[in-house]
C-alpha cells in the first residue's frame, strides 16, 4: 500500500514556465488537498476537493489550479510560475468531507519546488 505519492520529488523551474505537480492516492479517499509549506508559516491550504468532479479554493489559491477527474488523482498546476511560489508542496487526503471534522488527513512526502 503506497498511500499518497507525489511527483516530482523536487524541481527547479524557470519563472514563467508551466508546471504540474502530480498527486495520487490509493486509499479511495473522497477528499484531497494541496498545501504549501513555508518557513514560519506552517502549512497553508491552496485548493481542495471534497469528491471527484468538484474543487474549491483554500487560503492561498492565486496562481494555482487543480482538477479532480477521478478519485485517485489530484494534480496541481502552476500556469506561469513566479519566484514567490518557491515552496514545499504537500498533497493530502481524508476519508470523508462534510460528515466528520475528526477525520485524519494523510500526507504525501512533498514536492520541493524552486522557481528562479
Partner 1 sequence: AQSVTQLDSHVSVSEGTPVLLRCNYSSSYSPSLFWYVQHPNKGLQLLLKYTSAATLVKGINGFEAEFKKSETSFHLTKPSAHMSDAAEYFCVASRGSSNTGKLIFGQGTTLQVKP
Q: Which is nearer to partner 1, 16 or 53 (CB)?
A: 53
* Beta partners for residue 70, in sequence order: none
List residues near partner 1 by CB under 8 A: 4, 31, 33, 40-45, 48, 50, 58, 90, 92, 94, 96-110
Backbone angles phi, psi at 84, to 5 degrees: -70, -10
Q: Are 51 and 97 in contact (CB under 8 A)?
A: yes
The nearest distance, CB 30 to partner 1, in angstroms, is 9
The nearest distance, CB 16 to partner 1, in angstroms, is 28
Q: What cell does 62 get?
A: 492565486
Q: Report how far residue 91's alpha carbon sits from residue 52's, in angstroms, rounded to the nearest whole number.
A: 15
The nearest distance, CB 70 to partner 1, in angstroms, is 19
Amino acid at each position: 500500500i503506497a498511500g499518497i505519492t507525489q511527483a516530482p520529488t523536487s524541481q527547479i523551474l524557470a519563472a514563467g514556465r508551466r508546471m504540474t505537480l502530480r498527486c495520487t492516492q490509493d486509499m479511495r479517499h473522497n477528499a484531497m488537498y494541496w498545501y504549501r509549506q513555508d518557513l514560519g508559516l506552517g502549512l497553508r491550504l491552496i485548493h481542495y476537493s471534497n469528491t471527484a468532479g468538484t474543487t474549491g479554493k483554500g487560503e492561498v489559491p492565486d496562481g494555482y489550479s487543480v482538477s479532480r477527474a477521478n478519485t485517485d488523482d489530484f494534480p496541481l498546476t502552476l500556469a506561469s510560475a513566479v519566484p514567490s511560489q518557491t515552496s514545499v508542496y504537500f498533497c493530502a487526503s481524508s476519508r470523508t468531507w462534510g460528515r466528520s471534522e475528526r477525520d485524519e488527513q494523510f500526507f504525501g512526502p512533498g514536492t520541493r519546488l524552486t522557481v528562479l
